[in-house]
Amino acid sequence: MKPLALVGPTASGKTEASLPVAQALGAEILSVDSMVVYRGMDVGTAKPSPGERAAVPHHLIDLTDPAEPFSVAEYQRLAMDALDAVERGGHEALLVGGSGLYFRAVVDRLEFPGTEQATRALLEAEAAAAGPDALYRRLAETDPAAAARIEPSNVRRTVRALEVAAVTGRRFSDFAHAWESYPPGNVRAAGVEVPRPVLHARIERRVDQMMPGLLAETRALLDAGIGGFLTATQAIGYLEAADCIRGTIGETEAAARTVKRTKTLARRQMAWFRRDPRIRWFPVGEEGAIGAAEAIIGYLGAREDGP
């Protein structure tokens, strides 16, 4: 039984629509979101509320503390266990979220090479000493296909690509070949398509509404010693809120930066999902995904093969 999915960019209303969709389909929800896995990060991630999680069983939320190491490979292992448990219980699995990598980790069982902390630490030290350009040039020389997919300024991904090559003896791009294949039998997916001006307005409203709660939540995280995690991950909203709390920027600037970075995230999410031909897109307006809930239920509930 292949899983069903409801995907799309942040602030498109997926969480709101997922409840009636899941209830109509007799499904349990598996989150495919890279940030709701962290406990204590609720406001800035727009995590489903306790009431929403009580209305429909949710999985893959609050898996780890922010300060603990957590990888997409670990997420994949937990997701496979959750998927098996839902199916053994006789229910449909409805994947809901906006992380394209986590989505494909579940539906396509992508292979993720392991990590080696000592190797990574050496590469990070080299990047700090010689600068990101030197590290990126090495990657471009040894694995041009991988370098072409990574921004030169993205030190984290450059380090990861070089680490994989050092640990496995294989180029990082070798692992990515499977990412270009989209087996149609692996998932039946509906995508939420929001006009960019409408989505931007929804993002602005969301950030405006969440800022007071986000500042309070971030202060609690800082008091708990999680500031290093927020900086290292560049967590959208939390990094800006931390800067505001420290007095580096004002609340208005923190909100503006959060809006800007969230819009960039939404654009990247859509670029990722657009590459997947299995996703059937459902246009919505200012009401967000809830406006297409009935059509999505009809499509996902049809269960025939194909996109």
Tell whether the model's pLDDT for residue 240 goes beyond 50: yes
Give me the residue spans of the domains in the chain.
4-110+187-302, 117-177
Q: Output the average pLDDT for the chain.
A: 92
- Going by pLDDT thresholds of 50, 70 and 90, the confidence category of residue 304 is low
Mean pLDDT of 159-173: 90
- Going by pLDDT thresholds of 50, 70 and 90, the confidence category of residue 227 is confident
Domain with residues 117-177, CATH architecture: Orthogonal Bundle (1.10)
Give me the DSSP letters along 245-292: HTTSS-HHHHHHHHHHHHHHHHHHHHHHHHT-TTEEEEE--TTGGGGG
Mean pLDDT of 130-153: 89
pTM of the model: 0.86
Per-residue pLDDT at 306: 45
- For residue range 176-193, what is the model confidence (pLDDT) as tens digits? 777 788 999 999 999 999
Mean pLDDT of 10-35: 97
For 136, phi and psi rounded to 5 degrees? -65, -40
Give me the DSSP letters along 147-201: HTTS-TT-HHHHHHHHHHHHHHSS-HHHHHGGGG---GGG-EEEEEE--HHHHHH
- Rounded to whole angstroms, the Cα distance separating 2 from 22 reads 15
Tell whether the model's pLDDT for residue 305 goes beyond 70: no
Q: 10 with 46: CB under 8 angstroms?
A: yes
* Range of 84-98, 130-144, 151-165 with top mean pLDDT: 84-98
Mean pLDDT of 284-289: 96
Tell whether the model's pLDDT for residue 307 goes beyond 70: no
Mean pLDDT of 275-293: 97
- Rounded to whole angstroms, the Cα distance separating 154 from 109 reads 25
For 4, the 3-state DSSP assignment is: strand
Q: Which of 188, 194, 260 is nearest to 14 (CA)?
A: 194
Specify the CATH number of the domain 4-110+187-302: 3.40.50.300
Q: 179 with 285: CB under 8 angstroms?
A: no
Per-residue pLDDT at 293: 98
Structure tokens at 79: 């997701």
Per-residue pLDDT at 114: 75
- For residue range 24-68, what is the model confidence (pLDDT) as tens digits? 999 999 999 999 999 999 999 999 999 999 999 999 999 999 988
Range in 109-118, 141-150, 197-206 with the lowest mean pLDDT: 109-118
Mean pLDDT of 279-306: 91
